[in-house]
Chains A and B, each alone.
Chain A
């Protein structure tokens, strides 16, 4: 399973959605009601654990990933891909 597939599967299972017409990889997952504060922290904890990431608070000061594409790119960047 690819990195993107793992993230998609986690989001779909945890938040009862399917990426498609309604929620797309470019959808703001907050604005579209997919995740709330608890869900966001669940999601970020999952990414940290699944992909062995270490995230510093300063990384979120300017640009916080809130779409599938942005989350995927964030993980890729952290992994140095």
Chain B
């Protein structure tokens, strides 16, 4: 794990460069509190804050090859580092450490950018070629680790979190109304975007080269959700899923520190916990959230699974007041407007895990995307087949479509039928599966002054993606979920950024390339989409308790906008005052005020889902505006340089000899 940051800015005053790189690293120190280091040469700097997990003793960064031509700053984990090390050793490459970071560097030297497709891991890294003067930055295929950049006239900046850029002289943040429009429409930035002007992120599966001051972006791996139908028997399909997941968990248990497991009580995390207990020689520790609000709480299911598996279980009880109080801090780490408060419990859970002495955790993220777990997929199948189904078949399917939504219940069958019939034809080219959901976005657009099309950029993305048009409606739905909400929201705002806020690394066994490929092979062959995750259940039916196998999926929920009605924190002034709202670029203060008044009405007016999402979007935007644009708010204390535990400082500027400044 860790965080990385750096810049290429030849014109930056030499005397300030160490302070600038240290300042950038200090702002992301929460990601890697164990040690820090940086490398400087003529015109560029890069550094790492390290969370030591593999090779605690000799894995310090930045790290070089023996010639000191290539230098690397690495954030993440390479799960297949042992196999790649053997392969590289056989090719004659020599290693000085046991770390996966060195394997990445040697693979880069051996294979160049072709190494990226060989990596099974969660990573973002920077490699400096000190002879050619090139800089490369790359990100893993599913976007598990973040990497942001800003290409400016005065320099190229990159970092694991945008907040690091604040340390660069003259840098300031400004919200981008165009991006807000897109975020409000699809609940997350597009893979290469952020909410801020001039700041981009490296899309999952891509590599950026900085050569001669010019940026080149290259996709090294496209997401594949389609595959030829699996030809084996149902038992063989289940065995394939079981075996690939077992191997995935096995390599994700590789660590020099203890690995825990998040346990929600649902199928996915139960499978991960089951495999972790099978593969560990010691008692596995599991962690979960309990909600004060019983309607949201799933603790009984969690305890049942923990008892069955014999894990050492620990949970943190979270009240609605906790969610309200910690919302600004969680948004500060997420760095993006959010539509739900669900990130806050994850923020508090990771703190609990860290307090328990654990800094690496396995989670079930990615299972719903890979194995068609969301009701969105069933809805897509139903709408796509609408005109082919009989009235009776429609009724049967509507009855199990969205069991968690009361307004989809049996008493509303007629209206649901009318609603779905309107969405049986594609309206947005290529976005059929998500059209009903995107209606919510259209309401949230009303928070903005400008009525520009919120889906234009997404439509362009799918239009320009090779192979997308040939996918089935369900596969398009999967592709959209992987590319938008998974990387942009679940893995980041609920996972990576909330974990690393407290120095906890999450690992996702369902997001192993072999598992995603196996899912693509068996989906829709042995799973018609109506029995939720049928193949996955079949694969683990005999080794799990009844609860996660029999109950329908419970969407992970947290208290919504009415929590702010009940608790009314001081910072609500951000959205209660038209003057404050007018400070947010692009927001229509008049409509925003109307929405806020309804949501916070003293009498307890009914708040719909779209109003709930709009309110949380607005509040989180206002919080971000205060923290990033106005540079106010005290959610995070920035460590001073002296507190940074800088163990590695490499200064090679002005043709100074190798290792000038030295390892100290």
Contact = CB atoms under 8 A, between A and B. Distances in A.
Same complex for A and B? Answer: yes
Contacts of A16: 446, 591, 594-595, 598, 611
B418 A31 contact: no
B608 interface: yes
A57 interface: yes
Given A32-B442, A37-B439, A64-B421, A44 B415 contact: yes
Given A16-B598, A33-B439, A64 B610 contact: no
A31 to B, nearest CB: 7
Nearest to B422: A64
Given A60-B421, A61-B421, A41 B415 contact: yes
Nearest to B439: A36
B413 A57 contact: yes
Contact of A41 (B407, B422, B595, B610): B407
Given A44-B415, A45-B415, A61-B421, A38 B610 contact: yes
A10 to B, nearest CB: 13
Given A16-B595, A38-B407, A33 B608 contact: no
Contacts of A36: 439-440, 443, 608-610
A64 B442 CA distance: 20
Contacts of A66: 422
A64 B416 CA distance: 11
B417 interface: yes
A5 to B, nearest CB: 21
B642 interface: no
Interface string A17-59: 0000000000000111111111111101100000000011111
B91 interface: no
B412 interface: yes
Contacts of A57: 391, 394-395, 413-414, 417-418
A38 B612 CA distance: 12
Contact of A33 (B407, B421, B442, B594): B442
A37 B436 contact: yes
Interface string B591-624: 1001100100000000011110000000000000
B445 interface: yes
B419 A40 contact: yes
A33 B445 contact: yes
Contact of B418 (A35, A42, A64): A64
A40 B427 CA distance: 18
Contacts of A58: 391
B394, B419, B440, B598: residue with the most chain A Cβ atoms closer than 10 Å: B419
Given A39-B608, A61-B421, A55 B407 contact: no
Interface string B418-461: 11011000010000000010011111111000000000000000
Interface residues of A, number: 26
Nearest to A39: B608
A49 to B, nearest CB: 12
Contact of B609 (A30, A38, A45): A38
A53 to B, nearest CB: 11
Contacts of A59: 418
A39 B412 CA distance: 12
Nearest to A62: B421
B421 A55 contact: no
A39 B608 CA distance: 8
Contact of B416 (A32, A35, A41): A41
Contact of B422 (A30, A32, A33, A39): A30
Contacts of A60: 414, 417-418, 421
B414 A56 contact: yes
Contacts of B421: 60-61, 64
A34 B444 CA distance: 10
A36 B445 CA distance: 13
B104 to A, nearest CB: 45
A57 B609 CA distance: 25
Contacts of B608: 14, 36, 38-39, 42
Nearest to B598: A16
B656 to A, nearest CB: 60
B415 A33 contact: no
Nearest to B446: A33
B443 A37 contact: no
Contacts of A39: 608, 610
Contacts of A32: 442
A38 B402 CA distance: 12
Contacts of B407: 37-38, 41-42
Nearest to A16: B594
Contacts of A61: 421
Contact of A34 (B413, B443, B594, B609): B443
B386 to A, nearest CB: 10
Contacts of A38: 405, 407, 608-610
B594, B608, B609: residue with the most chain A Cβ atoms closer than 10 Å: B608
B182 to A, nearest CB: 15
A4 to B, nearest CB: 21
Interface string B558-597: 0000000000000000000000000000000001001100
Contact of B412 (A14, A30, A45): A45
Nearest to B442: A33
Contact of A40 (B405, B415, B446): B415
A71 B296 CA distance: 36
A54 B132 CA distance: 76
Nearest to A28: B422
Interface in A65-80: 66
Contacts of B595: 16
Contacts of A34: 443
Contacts of A35: 439
Nearest to B185: A33
A57 B390 CA distance: 12
Contacts of B444: 33
B343 to A, nearest CB: 23
B620 to A, nearest CB: 20
A1 B436 CA distance: 33
Given A36-B610, A41-B415, 6 more contacts: A16-B611, A33-B439, A57-B395, A57-B418, A60-B417, A60-B421
30 contacts: A30-B422, A31-B442, A33-B439, A33-B445, A34-B443, A36-B440, A36-B443, A36-B610, A37-B408, A37-B419, A37-B436, A38-B407, A39-B608, A39-B610, A40-B415, A40-B418, A41-B415, A41-B419, A42-B407, A44-B415, A45-B412, A55-B415, A56-B414, A57-B395, A57-B414, A57-B417, A60-B418, A60-B421, A61-B421, A64-B419
Identify the 5 closest CB pairs spanning chains A and B, nearest first: A33-B442, A60-B418, A44-B415, A57-B417, A41-B407
